């Protein structure tokens, strides 16, 4: 069964009445915490997209991590950890400085330095052990 | 490759050929060293691979020292020399290393574009521009199995 998730305020959803006409819908009322989490995730996704687009051609780990969008993600602090870890599991990428900066930890074995897939695996396991991701 | 990168390079880049899928698992510094197994960079946190005992500094000297661990020695330019392979290290206007390319037996060059694709390009000038600066240092090493006269 194909489902499409549309999220927004009730007023925003009502504005799509013509599109939704005739379809069966399920309405879930989000509490303020869920709304805040959804907003954070949207912000993280937007920052990630900007960061990736602007730094894809770079080799310098420093330049990659100093991008303003990446720094904003670090600024989100611990709230960003589930998003980063889920993204890392989905698509291993250069999240390691952010994870280190936010957590002050480093679960990566020295022999894996620079091996992106292994480093990502170590961090994902770290996050799963702490209940940050499922 | 992304449009921003292309816009920041020489128009000669238009003649480049993509030679691999995208990968965030290795970068140009590693690719110029002949590997696609790690991301090489002397970051201060020690996250990324850097040859042991080579200073973890973003300087041309440190990058030359890194390639020296692979038997490269400094040379004057990127011209094709029989019996040798070369790498070129690019730097920005501040002299900070930004990119490295490896010469192919044909005299063309191969570069890994960040987390994007490998490309084969005619000249080092093809990647000269706002994105990477210009080639600043050259190194060469004898091709395996080749005598100084260039024969096996």
Q: Cα distance from B130 to chain A (closest Cα, Å)?
A: 12
What pLDDT was estimated at residue B90? Answer: 98
Q: How much of chain B exceeds pLDDT 70, in percent?
A: 86
**The two structure tokens encoding residue A37:** 């989490």
Q: Is B80 among the domain residues?
A: yes
- More reliable by pLDDT, B83 or A11: B83
* Sign of torsion over alpha carbons B53, B35, A49, A132: negative
- More reliable by pLDDT, B2 or A63: A63
Q: Is A67 on the interface with B (CB under 8 A)?
A: no
Closest to A56 (Cβ–Cβ): which among B30, B37, B114?
B114
Q: Count of domains in chain B?
A: 1
Task: Evaluate whether B110 touches B19 at the Cβ level (below 8 Å).
Answer: yes
Q: Is B152 among the domain residues?
A: no
Q: Give dist(CA B121, CA B91) in Å, integer.
A: 18
Q: How much of chain A exceeds pLDDT 70, in percent?
A: 96
Q: Give dist(CA B148, CA B43) in Å, integer.
A: 37
CB atoms B40 and A58 under 8 Å: no
pLDDT tens digits along A60-101: 999 999 999 999 999 999 999 999 999 999 999 999 999 999
Residues B78-88, mean pLDDT to the nearest whole number: 96
What pLDDT was estimated at residue B16? Answer: 85
Q: Give dist(CA B89, CA B87) in Å, integer.
A: 7
Q: B75: part of which helix (H) or strand (E)?
A: strand B73-75
CB atoms B24 and A92 under 8 Å: yes
The answer to whether residue A3 scores a pLDDT higher than 50 is yes
Q: Is A103 among the domain residues?
A: yes
Q: Give dist(CA B2, CA B9) in Å, integer.
A: 11
Q: Which chain A residues have a beta carbon less than 8 Å from that of B5? A: 56-57
Q: Count of domains in chain A?
A: 1
* Distance separating the N- and C-terminal Cα atoms of chain A: 24
CB atoms B4 and A117 under 8 Å: no
The answer to whether residue A14 scores a pLDDT higher than 70 is yes
Contacts of A25 (CB under 8 A, 6+ apart): none
CB atoms within 10 A of CB A64: 25
Q: Is A124 among the domain residues?
A: yes
Q: Is B87 among the domain residues?
A: yes
Q: What ipTM did this prediction achieve?
A: 0.87
The answer to whether residue B152 scores a pLDDT higher than 80 is no
Q: Which chain B residues have a beta carbon less than 8 Å from that of A107? A: none
How many CB pairs lie under 8 A apart between chains A and B? 89
**What is the side-by-side order of every strand in the sheet holding B73-75?**
B17-18, B118-121, B109-112, B97-103, B84-91, B134-142, B73-75
The answer to whether residue B148 scores a pLDDT higher than 50 is no
Task: Scan for tokens 């990736």, then name that residue.
Answer: A52
**The two structure tokens encoding residue B105:** 């037996």
pTM for the whole structure: 0.83
**The two structure tokens encoding residue B47:** 């996250």
Q: Is B109 among the domain residues?
A: yes
Residue A52: φ, ψ to 5°: -65, -45
Q: Is A25 among the domain residues?
A: no
What pLDDT was estimated at residue A17? Answer: 85
Domain span including residue B128: 3-142
Q: Is A10 among the domain residues?
A: no
Domain span including residue A56: 35-129
Residues B4-26, mean pLDDT to the nearest whole number: 77
Q: Which chain A residue has its CA at the smallest distance from B1's CA? A: A57
Q: Is A127 on the interface with B (CB under 8 A)?
A: no
What pLDDT was estimated at residue B151? Answer: 41
Q: Is B115 exposed, middle or buried (0-12, 13-18, 19+ CB in 10 A)?
A: buried
Q: Is B150 among the domain residues?
A: no
The answer to whether residue B62 scores a pLDDT higher than 80 is yes
Residues B131-137, mean pLDDT to the nearest whole number: 95
Q: Which chain B residues have a beta carbon less than 8 Å from that of A61? A: 39, 41, 43, 47-48
Q: Which chain A residue has its CA at the smallest distance from B8's CA? A: A57
Q: Is A15 among the domain residues?
A: no
Residue B88: φ, ψ to 5°: -125, 135
Q: Is B32 among the domain residues?
A: yes
Q: Give dist(CA B105, CA B143) in Å, integer.
A: 10
């Amino acid at each position: 069964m194909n489902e499409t998730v549309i999220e927004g305020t009730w007023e925003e959803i009502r504005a799509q009445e013509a599109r939704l006409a005739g379809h069966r819908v399920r309405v879930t009322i989000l509490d303020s915490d869920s709304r805040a989490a959804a907003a954070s995730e949207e912000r993280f996704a937007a920052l990630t997209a900007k960061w990736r687009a602007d730094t894809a051609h770079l080799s310098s780990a420093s330049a990659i991590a100093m991008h303003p969008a990446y720094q904003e993600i670090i600024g989100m602090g611990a709230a960003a950890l589930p998003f980063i870890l889920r993204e890392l599991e989905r698509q291993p990428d250069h999240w390691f400085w952010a994870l280190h900066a936010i957590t002050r930890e480093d679960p990566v074995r020295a022999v894996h330095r620079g091996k992106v897939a292994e480093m990502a695996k170590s961090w994902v396991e770290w996050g799963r052990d702490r209940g940050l991701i499922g | 490759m992304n449009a921003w990168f292309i816009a920041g390079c020489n128009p000669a880049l238009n003649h480049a050929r993509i030679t691999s899928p995208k990968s965030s698992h290795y970068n140009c510094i590693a690719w110029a060293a002949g590997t696609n197994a790690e991301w090489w960079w002397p970051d201060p946190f020690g996250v990324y691979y850097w040859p042991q005992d080579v200073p973890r500094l973003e300087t041309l000297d440190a990058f030359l020292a890194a390639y020296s661990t692979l038997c490269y020695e400094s040379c004057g330019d990127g011209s094709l020399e029989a019996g040798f392979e070369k790498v070129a290290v690019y730097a920005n206007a501040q002299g900070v290393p930004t990119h490295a390319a490896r010469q192919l037996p044909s005299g063309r060059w191969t570069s890994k574009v960040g987390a994007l694709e490998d490309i084969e390009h005619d000249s080092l000038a093809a990647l000269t521009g706002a994105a990477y600066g210009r080639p600043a240092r050259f190194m060469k090493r004898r091709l395996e199995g080749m005598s100084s006269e260039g024969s096996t």
